Amino acid sequence: MTTIIEKNATPSDYYKAAIENGSLVMRPYCACGNALEEDYFCEKCNRRCHCNQIICDSEATLKLVKSHIRKSPKFSAFRAKIGHSV
């Protein structure tokens, strides 16, 4: 039997997404878990982060994010999943 090993199992930078007051809110985080400011620079890792993954807090948030991914070219490079961590 062949064992499949995922090559892309390393943590990546991400957004945490939630619906707050009826609006989608996404906050950027480094792969190390450190919250990022507007410049996306992680003080802890001393590097500029690139968020390509969106971690959604609920099914409703995931559904909204996937809708944006399908409809907007600005979202087309993102991957989305539900969960509380990467």
Name the residue range of residue 25's domain. 14-81
Q: What is the pTM of this model?
A: 0.81
Residue 11's pLDDT is what? 77
Tens of pLDDT, residue by residue over 11-63, are: 799 999 999 999 999 999 999 999 999 999 999 999 999 999 999 999 999 99
Give the residue among 51, 54, 64, 55 at the shortest CA–CA distance from 19: 64
> How many independent structural domains does the chain possess?
1
Confidence grade of residue 78 (pLDDT, cut at 50, 70, 90): very high
Q: Would residue 25 count as lying in a domain? A: yes
Give the residue among 50, 80, 48, 83 at the shortest CA–CA distance from 67: 80
Q: Would residue 19 count as lying in a domain? A: yes
Region for residue 33 given its phi and psi (left: phi exceeds 0; alpha: psi -120 to 50; beta: otherwise): left
Q: Would residue 86 count as lying in a domain? A: no
Q: Would residue 1 count as lying in a domain? A: no
